Amino acid sequence: MTLPQLYIYRHDRGRRALITLAGEIDPATAPQVRAALERCLHDGITTIDVDLTTVGRCDSSGLRVFLDASRLAAGAHASLRLHYPSRQTARLLEETGSDLLLL
């Protein structure tokens, strides 16, 4: 059995960060995403853009991470937005009403 892999790339421009994720977001990889997003807030980033172009699948554990990070960002007067979700991820966001908060 191979473990799912997730690659996380971060590019900062001033107080804005672009986080590009590649792979799958599931219970095994969601903690990595959480740590990367929390690190942005800790570093004083006020705008976090998450590029999901190369994320094949995101399950409810990934959704929880994004919702928690969005709440933390709002508390720090920052914002978090997801960009280019796959059809599966977009459907998950729509079905849970999270698209209104995260897209």
pTM above 0.85, yes or no: yes
Q: Which residues pair with 12 in a beta bridge?
A: 17
pLDDT digits (tens, 9 = 90+) for 63-76: 999 999 999 999 99
pLDDT digits (tens, 9 = 90+) for 36-49: 999 999 999 999 99
**In the structure encoding, which two tokens stand for residue 96, read together?**
């849970």
**In the structure encoding, which two tokens stand for residue 65, read together?**
């991470």
